[in-house]
Amino acid sequence: MMRPAVVSALPHLLRLSRVSRASMVERQRRALQRLVAGVGPRVPEVKQRLARAGLERVTNLADLRRLEPVERADLQVLDLTSRMMPGLDVTKLVRRQTGGSSGRPLVVYRTPLEEHFINLYRRRGLRLMGLTPRDRCVTLVWPGNAERKLLALGLRRFLGVYRDQLLIPDESLEAATNRLEEIRPSVLVSYPSILDKLVEDRRLSIRPRLVIAGGETLLPEVRRQVTEALGARVLNHYGMTECNQVAFECPTTGHLHIHDDAVLVEILHTSGEPAGEGEQGEVVVTSLHSYAMPFIRYRTGDIAIAGSTACECGLPLSTLFDLRGRVSDFMIAADGSWIHPVTLIGVMLRVLGDRVRQFQFVQETRTLMRLTLSTAEPLGDAIHTARSAIEAVLGAGVIVEIIDIGKQPIDRLGKHRTCISRVASIYDEYDPLPLSP
C-alpha cells in the first residue's frame, strides 16, 4: 500500500516560514496526484466516482473538480470494503469515530503511520498558535466521547515534557472549575460551549496566557467574554476526525491558516462552482495523506468565507476569513446543572447504535426533552431502554419523548443541528452565513 511521503514533508513541517508559496502549491498538487493514483484503482467508492467523471487519473485541481463531491450520508450506507484499501487488517488500524455533534457518527480507519503523520500537522498548527513544551496545558473535554479524549491525548505526546493534563469532569462544571484553580494552566484548550459556561459567573481566577477553542463554532461574543474573564488571547482552530486539524488561527491576522500540504480545501457555492476570495460557501476537503480510508472531495456541511491564497503574515498557507459550522447547546438537568450534548449523544448511541441514521435533541422546557430519530430499522423495545438511560442522565422530573420519523430537516446553518435548547441557548442571536447559489 502506498504511504504518505514523510521524508519530503519534513521541511514543510519544521521550517514552514522558509517554504515559498509556489513550493507549497506544487507539493499539494503532487500529494493529490499520488493519492488518487494510489487509491483510485483499488478503493471501489473512489474508482466508481472516477469512472463516472470519465477520469483515469487526477493531476491537478481542475481534474479533481470533475469528481462529484461525497457526503457523510453517502459513505454511511457503504460497507467497509467499498471505502477502504483492500488487504488491510482493521484490527491493526487506528479507529476513530466522529463525535456525533453534526449527526450520526462515522467510523474512520487509518494506518498507524498515517495517524502519526497527520498528527504532525496538528502539532505544527498548535506550535504556530503559540503552544510551547514549557506550557502547562489543560485540555477540557466532556465525558461521553472516547474519540475526543484520544485526540486530546495526542496533544500530550506533542508537548513532550508532559506538563499537560486531560480534564474530564464527571458530573458538573463546578468540579472542572475547582480542578482548574488547582492546576493553574498557562494554556487552556476546550470547546467554545464549555468555555462559555466556565466564564459565565466570572468565578474563575486562573489567568492562562492562551486559550485555544475548537470542535464547535466560536462566536465573537463567546470569544469576547472568555478574553475579558480570563485575560487571555483566544485563538480558534478547525478540525474534524476525518482528517484531523484542517486550519488554525493566525495570531497576526486572525485568519485561519489552512494546512495546504495536508488537506486540499475547496469552498463551493451550492451550484458546485468555487467561491472567490471573500465569498461564502460549503467547505469541501480532500485529505491528502489518508490512503487506508480516503476522503476525497468530502462535504463537511460547514460554511466558510474563502480567504486569500497566502496569509499576510508571510506563511505560505491559504486562508479562510470566517467559519460557521457545528453548534450544540448545553442541556439543563433536573437539578439545574449543565450537561454537554456529547453526554446525551453518547448514551443514546450506546443503546441504539447503527440503527440511528439521524437524530435531534430538543429541550423544550426544563422538564421535557424531545428526541427525534430517523432510523434504519424498527427500534422495538430498545426505544424504551434509550428513554430510561437518557432520563437517568437528566434526573428525576425530566420527561424524555422519543419520536421515530423520516429524514430530519437540515438546520438553517447548512448543517443538521443535533442539540437545541429552547430554554437557554448561546446561539439564539447566531447570524449564519447563507450559502450562495
Q: What is the pLDDT of residues 306-316, one digit of tens each?
A: 999 988 899 99
* CATH class of the region 1-326: alpha beta
What type of residue is 265?
Answer: V
Mean pLDDT computed over 62-74: 93
419 falls in which pLDDT band (50, 70, 90)?
confident
The answer on pLDDT for 328 being more than 80 is no
Inter-CA distances, 165 with 95, 120, 140, 162, Å: 23, 20, 9, 8
- C-alpha to C-alpha distance for 335 and 395, rounded to whole angstroms: 7
Instruction: Give the residue with greater pLDDT, 156 vs 305.
Output: 305
Mean pLDDT computed over 363-371: 93
Q: Can you give the pLDDT at residue 29?
A: 96
Every domain of the chain and the residues it spans = 1-326, 331-421
In whole angstroms, what separates CA 252 from the centre of its chain? Answer: 24
Mean pLDDT computed over 222-226: 91
Q: Can you give the pLDDT at residue 161?
A: 41
Mean pLDDT computed over 58-63: 96
422 falls in which pLDDT band (50, 70, 90)?
confident
Q: Are 141 and 368 in contact (CB under 8 A)?
A: no
273 falls in which pLDDT band (50, 70, 90)?
very high
Q: Are 341 and 418 in contact (CB under 8 A)?
A: yes
What type of residue is 202?
Answer: R
Q: Can you give the pLDDT at residue 158?
A: 45
147 falls in which pLDDT band (50, 70, 90)?
very low
- C-alpha to C-alpha distance for 124 and 242, rounded to whole angstroms: 18
* φ, ψ for residue 247, nearest 5 deg: -155, 160
101 falls in which pLDDT band (50, 70, 90)?
low
Q: Are 294 and 282 in contact (CB under 8 A)?
A: no
Q: Can you give the pLDDT at residue 413?
A: 39
Mean pLDDT computed over 284-302: 95
Q: Can you give the pLDDT at residue 373?
A: 87
Q: Which residue in 304, 278, 274, 328 sits closest to 61, CA to CA?
A: 274
* Residue 291, CB-side half-sphere exposure with 13 Å CA sphere: 24
Q: Can you give the pLDDT at residue 233?
A: 96
Instruction: Give the residue with greater pLDDT, 161 vs 271.
Output: 271
8 falls in which pLDDT band (50, 70, 90)?
low
The answer on pLDDT for 155 being more than 50 is no
The answer on pLDDT for 31 being more than 80 is yes
Q: Can you give the pLDDT at residue 40?
A: 96
Tell me what percent of the chain is helix, strand and coil, each rounded to the nearest 5: 35, 25, 45
Q: Which CATH superfamily is domain 331-421 in?
A: ANL, C-terminal domain (3.30.300.30)
What type of residue is 47?
Answer: K
What type of residue is 242?
Answer: E
Q: Taking the alpha carbons of 254, 17, 295, 118 in that order, is the dihedral positive or negative?
A: negative
Q: Which residue in 248, 257, 182 sits closest to 210, CA to CA?
A: 248
423 by Cβ neighbours in 10 Å (0-12 / 13-18 / 19+) ranks as: middle
Mean pLDDT computed over 238-243: 91
Q: Can you give the pLDDT at residue 157?
A: 47
Mean pLDDT computed over 344-366: 86
265 falls in which pLDDT band (50, 70, 90)?
very high
Mean pLDDT computed over 324-335: 77
Q: Which residue in 83, 82, 48 sits closest to 68, CA to CA?
A: 48
Q: Which of 101-115, 192-206, 214-228, 322-336 has the highest mean pLDDT?
A: 214-228
Listed as own residue / partner, the contacts of 271-275 with beta carbons closer than 8 Å and 24 or more positions apart are: 271/437, 272/69, 274/65, 274/306, 275/305, 275/306, 275/436
In the predicted model, what is the mean pLDDT of the chain? Answer: 84
272 φ/ψ sector (left φ>0, alpha ψ -120 to 50, else beta): left
Beta bridge partners of 110: 94
356 falls in which pLDDT band (50, 70, 90)?
confident
Strand pairing report for 256-258 and 319-324: antiparallel
Exposure letters 162-186 (e unless 16+ CB within 10 A, then b)? ebbbbbbbeeebeebbeebeebebb
Mean pLDDT computed over 331-352: 83
Residue 195 in grid coordinates? 468555555
